[in-house]
Amino acid sequence: MLAKTRLWGVDLSGTLQGAGGVGGQLSESSLITHNSITNNHFPTFDGNGNVSEYVNSSGEVTAHFEYDPYGNTVVNTDSSGLFNYKFSTKPLDAENGLYYYGYRYYDPMTGRWPSRDPIEEMGGVNLYGFVGNGKANRWDILGLSAPYAGVSAVALLHIIAQEAAKKMADECKGGCPAGVDLTQDCVDCCNGVSAASHILLVAAGFAATAECYVQFFYSPWRLATCLIAANYAQDAAADSILDHHNKCTDKCIDQAP
């Protein structure tokens, strides 16, 4: 029986998950349980966070990989198929050839996502396109990036709203358990989550605007498109948080004893 474990550290962003783990894998260990032999390998990366080699404990190269801009493996010395974390430090499903990005699978053969964008048209009118068909100049760390927001700024705004709704639904509880009226605590919880989420929205909005200017300063029409998309996403996220805040406080009152 063979079991694998992986150790992760900071990724290309300098944090644990700021770049979705791209370039953050430190080691991979294969444990043969019947005799407790552990084979340790350590990945090396190119400048884009793609695994280029796996090196064993003696410093010998066990496998070497090279890729085209869309993630197709053009050089592969891993004849035994020992390693599946390769392009963008994402796991490759050997049976279907798709990379798993956390929110959806990516097909390097077509350069597209086989499934629809989870944020729908907020990520662009092409729900299946991979970073606006500009892989050589843009990136997507989780399968959420919009074509004109290279660091998933639009997706981040959407995620903040989703997380706010989830927290208000899961953590803000009213009623009267054990004879204690929790109505005010519940309302305070709704208000606190909403306020914190709006602060995050403002910060993410500034980040989205800054990213637009960084990427498209010399392309006025793309800059305008990027700014419109970012502003729309921020407004939509703010409306969503307000709607869930109202539902949250209504729930608190409905549960009042």
Q: What is the pLDDT of residue 147?
A: 46
Q: Which residue has the higher pLDDT, 176 or 123?
A: 176
Question: What is the average pLDDT across 192-204?
Answer: 88
Global pTM reads: 0.54
Q: What is the pLDDT of residue 151?
A: 40
Q: H-helix or E-strand containing 28? A: strand 25-32
Q: What is the pLDDT of residue 35?
A: 62
Q: Over pLDDT 90: what percentage of the chain?
A: 32
In three-state secondary structure terms, 257 is coil
124, 132 contact by CB (below 8 A):
yes
Q: What is the pLDDT of residue 33?
A: 60
Q: What is the pLDDT of residue 88?
A: 92
d(CA 71, CA 210): 28
Mean pLDDT across the chain, nearest whole number? Answer: 82
Q: What is the pLDDT of residue 217?
A: 73
Confidence of residue 137 (pLDDT cuts 50, 70, 90): low
Looking at residue 89, what DSSP letter applies? G
Q: Which residue has the higher pLDDT, 220 or 25?
A: 25
* Among the ranges given (118-127, 140-149, 158-167, 215-224), the one the predictor scored with the smallest mean pLDDT: 140-149
Q: Which residue has the higher pLDDT, 50 or 253?
A: 50
Q: What is the pLDDT of residue 37?
A: 65
Q: What is the pLDDT of residue 105?
A: 92
Q: What is the pLDDT of residue 150?
A: 38
d(CA 47, CA 56): 21
Task: Count CA atoms within 13 Å of residue 208 on its CB side.
Answer: 31
Confidence of residue 87 (pLDDT cuts 50, 70, 90): very high
Confidence of residue 75 (pLDDT cuts 50, 70, 90): very high
